[in-house]
């Protein structure tokens, strides 16, 4: 379903590093940008829905490179704990008791609402009961890469771990090529929760089907010691020895990389998604993003699940990304606002294998967001750097995905948000009758 839309008289940022173009128009037809440029060149079509962009900035929709969307149910359930305690004593038990297809649908939809209202148009999700997550993304109008989880323990929807690869294969067969907004994928949880054989089979499945392969890797300092049968002396060298590093692999976190790991990743063409807020909250460390970028590694930005963040607002994430690199290196030039914006737009798109996203030009998918520049904290607006250091998701006014208006004047119009909130509150009450403040 497409809208034919004309956005007039906006300030325009076509790509993260580009100049700002005042008084511009964007014409969206059949899901794509058919024409874009200064108002003086507009040949106004007849009978088209028009959005007056006066006082607003239009830019490419943001791309969340790593999320576990259904984990919105666990937001604020267990904060300020060490990763092992948080995961083993709180998150895994809550998942075992409360994750089912219904929960994944409604809680992924809540995540979609939060992401849409804060300017995210594409998400890479990684979880279980992923068919239900796909339904939530399709019903909300989001673009998504939906990766089915693979882990060598009984998991939600996959009680028998010997069937983990088969389950992921069936999932990909069901969804490959069925919806232009949805790309199915494979998510192997980590080198320490998947055997070497499972990792190789999961990777083979992804490559045979031509879909992305995601894996958490090198998240904590202690990860190497948790790998059952290590084939290398670091998690990255272990994955390399298993032939898992190639252009189709997306390594999530990569906090603990030495120089040799960085070289291996750069040579292989594997991509990285950084999740700096999750790494800070769980005290995992600070990834070497500036070194990755200097080596030409493509880096995207993700929020991770919101139980370890606890927000899905990519404006917050960009701010933390840039500032975190400055603190880590004690250099204010370590990572610029524009590099952070690139990680969340054009480079984030390349990481997910969809390089046509993340910039606005004729022929590209019409995935764009608009921001109200009249807010006091966005004035004066000299450059896009202000987006990273001053803006927040609450500044978003309109969101268009594949040419369809899904948020208009800060209201979600693609689905009933109130119904979604009611459903999630009911689930939260089941999870924690005493805590769920409604
Ligand atoms: Zn994660």
pLDDT band at 437 (very low <50, low <70, confident <90, very high): low
CA–centroid distance, 216 to ligand 1, in Å, is 6
Distance CA 86, CA 94 (A): 11
CB 91 within 8 A of CB 120: no
> What pLDDT digit, counting tens, does each position of 227-271 carry?
999 999 999 999 999 999 999 999 999 999 999 999 999 999 999
CA–centroid distance, 71 to ligand 1, in Å, is 10
CA–centroid distance, 68 to ligand 1, in Å, is 6
CA–centroid distance, 338 to ligand 1, in Å, is 25
Every domain of the chain and the residues it spans: 5-60+366-412, 62-351
Distance CA 212, CA 195 (A): 20
Six-digit token pair at 168? 């992921």
CA–centroid distance, 387 to ligand 1, in Å, is 25
User: Tell me, what's the pLDDT at 181?
Assistant: 98
User: Tell me, what's the pLDDT at 436?
Assistant: 60
CA–centroid distance, 268 to ligand 1, in Å, is 22
CB 9 within 8 A of CB 57: no
User: Tell me, what's the pLDDT at 432?
Assistant: 85
User: Tell me, what's the pLDDT at 104?
Assistant: 98
pLDDT, mean of residues 285-302: 98
pLDDT, mean of residues 54-83: 96
Exposed (0-12), middle (13-18) or buried (19+): which is 177, by Cβ within 10 Å? exposed
pLDDT band at 2 (very low <50, low <70, confident <90, very high): low
pLDDT, mean of residues 65-91: 93
SS3 for the chain is CCCCEEEEEEEEECCCCCCEEEEEEEEEECCEEEEEEEHHHCCCCCCCEEEECCCEEEEECEEEEEECHHHHHHCCCCCCCCHHHHHHHHHHHHHHHHCCHHHHHHHHHHHHHHHHHCCEEEEEEEECCHHHHHHHHHHHCCEEEEEEEECCCCECCECCHHHHHHHHHHHHHHHCCCCCCEEEEEEECCCCCCCHHHHHHHHHHHHHHCCCEEEEECCCCCHHHHCCCCCCCCHHHHHHHCCCCCCCEEEEECCCCCHHHHHHHHHHCCEEEECHHHHHHCCCCCCCHHHHHHCCCCEEECCCCHHHCCCCCHHHHHHHHHHHHHHHHCCCCCCCHHHHHHHCCHHHHHHCCCCCCCCCCCCCECCEEEEECCCHHHCCCCCCHHHHHCCCHHHEEEEEECCEEEEECCEECCCCHHHHHHHHHHHHHHHCCCCCCC
**What architecture is domain 62-351?**
Alpha-Beta Barrel (3.20)
User: Tell me, what's the pLDDT at 44?
Assistant: 87
Give which of 187, 206, 304 is closest to 246, Cα–Cα: 206
Report the 10 Å Cβ neighbour count for 383: 11
pLDDT, mean of residues 46-53: 92
User: Tell me, what's the pLDDT at 83?
Assistant: 84
CB 72 within 8 A of CB 424: yes
pLDDT, mean of residues 62-68: 98
CA–centroid distance, 126 to ligand 1, in Å, is 7
User: Tell me, what's the pLDDT at 434?
Assistant: 76
CA–centroid distance, 302 to ligand 1, in Å, is 9
CA–centroid distance, 288 to ligand 1, in Å, is 18
pLDDT over 70 (residue 1): no
CA–centroid distance, 31 to ligand 1, in Å, is 31
CA–centroid distance, 278 to ligand 1, in Å, is 9
CA–centroid distance, 41 to ligand 1, in Å, is 45
CA–centroid distance, 308 to ligand 1, in Å, is 9
> What pLDDT digit, counting tens, does each position of 161-205 carry?
999 999 999 999 999 999 999 999 999 999 999 999 999 999 999
CB 275 within 8 A of CB 220: no
Give which of 134, 136, 167, 137 is closest to 149, Cα–Cα: 167
CA–centroid distance, 62 to ligand 1, in Å, is 18
CA–centroid distance, 3 to ligand 1, in Å, is 34
Distance CA 409, CA 427 (A): 29
Report the 10 Å Cβ neighbour count for 138: 16
Distance CA 40, CA 44 (A): 11
CA–centroid distance, 32 to ligand 1, in Å, is 31
CA–centroid distance, 186 to ligand 1, in Å, is 13
Beta-bridged to residue 62, according to DSSP, are 120
Distance CA 5, CA 391 (A): 25
- CB proximity list for 285: less than 8 A, separation 6 or greater: 220, 221, 255, 256, 279
Average model confidence (pLDDT) for the chain? 96
CA–centroid distance, 214 to ligand 1, in Å, is 10
Distance CA 137, CA 121 (A): 10
User: Tell me, what's the pLDDT at 3?
Assistant: 73
- CB proximity list for 267: less than 8 A, separation 6 or greater: none
Distance CA 270, CA 261 (A): 11
Residue 429's alpha-carbon distances to 142, 264, 434, 437, 438, in angstroms, are: 27, 47, 8, 8, 8
CA–centroid distance, 93 to ligand 1, in Å, is 17
Residue 265's alpha-carbon distances to 5, 40, 261, in angstroms, are: 42, 47, 6
CA–centroid distance, 303 to ligand 1, in Å, is 8
CA–centroid distance, 78 to ligand 1, in Å, is 16
> What pLDDT digit, counting tens, does each position of 335-371 carry?
999 999 999 999 999 999 999 999 999 999 999 999 9
User: Tell me, what's the pLDDT at 433?
Assistant: 78
Q: What is the CATH number of domain 5-60+366-412?
A: 2.30.40.10
Query: In degrees to the nearest 10, what's the CA dihedral of 268, 127, 303, 270?
Result: 0
């Amino acid at each position: 379903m497409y809208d034919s839309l004309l956005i007039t008289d906006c300030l325009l940022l076509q790509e993260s590093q580009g100049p700002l173009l005042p008084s511009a128009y964007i014409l969206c037809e059949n899901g794509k940008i058919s024409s874009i440029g200064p108002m003086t060149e507009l040949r106004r079509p007849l009978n088209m829905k028009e959005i007056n962009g006066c006082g607003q900035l239009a830019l490419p929709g943001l791309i969340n490179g790593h999320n576990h969307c259904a984990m919105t149910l666990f937001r604020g359930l267990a904060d300020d704990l060490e990763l092992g305690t948080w995961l083993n004593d709180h998150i895994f038990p809550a998942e075992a008791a409360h994750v089912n297809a219904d929960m994944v649908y409604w809680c992924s939809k809540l995540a979609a609402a939060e992401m849409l209202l804060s300017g995210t148009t594409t998400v890479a999700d990684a979880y279980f009961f992923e068919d239900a997550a796909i339904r939530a993304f399709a019903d909300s109008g989001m673009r998504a890469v939906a990766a089915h989880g693979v882990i060598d323990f009984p998991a939600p929807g996959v009680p028998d771990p010997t069937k983990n690869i088969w389950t992921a294969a069936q999932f990909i067969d069901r969804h490959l090529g069925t919806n232009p907004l949805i790309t199915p994928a494979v998510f192997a949880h980590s080198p320490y929760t998947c055997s070497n054989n499972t990792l190789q089979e999961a990777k083979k499945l992804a490559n045979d089907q031509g879909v992305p392969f995601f894996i958490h890797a090198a998240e904590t300092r202690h990860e190497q010691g948790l790998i059952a049968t290590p084939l290398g002396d670091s998690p990255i060298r272990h994955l390399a020895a298993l032939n898992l590093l190639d252009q189709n692999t997306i390594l999530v976190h990569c906090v603990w990389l030495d120089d040799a790991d960085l070289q291996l990743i750069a040579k292989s063409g594997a991509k990285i998604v950084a999740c700096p807020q999750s790494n800070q909250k769980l005290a995992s460390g600070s990834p070497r993003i500036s070194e990755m970028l200097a080596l030409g590694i493509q880096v995207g930005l993700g929020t991770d699940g919101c139980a370890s963040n606890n927000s899905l607002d990519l404006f917050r994430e960009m701010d933390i990304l840039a500032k975190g690199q400055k603190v880590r290196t004690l250099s204010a030039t370590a990572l610029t606002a524009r590099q952070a914006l690139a990680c969340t737009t054009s480079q984030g798109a390349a990481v997910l294998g969809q390089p046509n996203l993340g910039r606005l030009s004729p022929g590209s998918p019409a995935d764009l967001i608009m921001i109200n520049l009249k807010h006091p904290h966005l004035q004066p607006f000299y450059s896009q750097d202000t987006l990273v250091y001053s803006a927040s998701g609450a500044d978003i006014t309109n969101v268009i995905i594949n040419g369809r208006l899904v948020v208009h004047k800060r209201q979600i119009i693609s689905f009933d948000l109130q119904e979604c909130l009611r459903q999630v509150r009911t689930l939260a009450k089941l999870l924690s009758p005493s805590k769920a403040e409604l």
